[in-house]
Amino acid sequence: MRCHYCLNRVVGKPNIVILKGIGPAHYQCYENNRVHSRVFGDLDLQTLNDDALNELKEMVLSECNSRKLMTEEEAVELFS
């Protein structure tokens, strides 16, 4: 079996991770890829098309605004 990233053998090597739905990888290769990639949880942002990425962006901004509003409302209640 070979590392998903560097394609070198993983059998008999220490520090191997198994990537769900992908296969084995050296831990160091996995970490190097994770640092340089745009992955959040199981979501690889680079796989999204422009429409999906913009939809996700709007959802994140909406959630941030919602939380900000709640904080401001709580502050108003505290001082009124």
Secondary structure (H, E, C), 13-35: CCCEEEECCCEEEEHHHHHHHHH
Query: Rounded to the nearest whole angstrom, what is the least distance from the CB of residue 27 to Zn ion in the complex?
Result: 9
Residue 3 interacts with Zn ion (CB under 5 A): yes or no: yes
Site string for Zn ion, 38-57 (x = CB under 5 A): --------------------
Closest CB 32 distance from Zn ion, rounded Å: 9
Burial code (b: 16+ CB inside 10 Å, e: under 16) for 47-77 equals: eeeeeeeeeeeeeeeeeeeeeeeeeeeeeee
Q: Which is nearer to Zn ion, 24 or 56 (by Cβ)?
A: 24
The yes or no reply on residue 26 touching Zn ion (CB under 5 A) is yes
Interaction between residue 16 and Zn ion (CB under 5 A)? no
Asked if residue 17 binds Zn ion (CB under 5 A), the reply is no
**Residue 9 DSSP label:** B
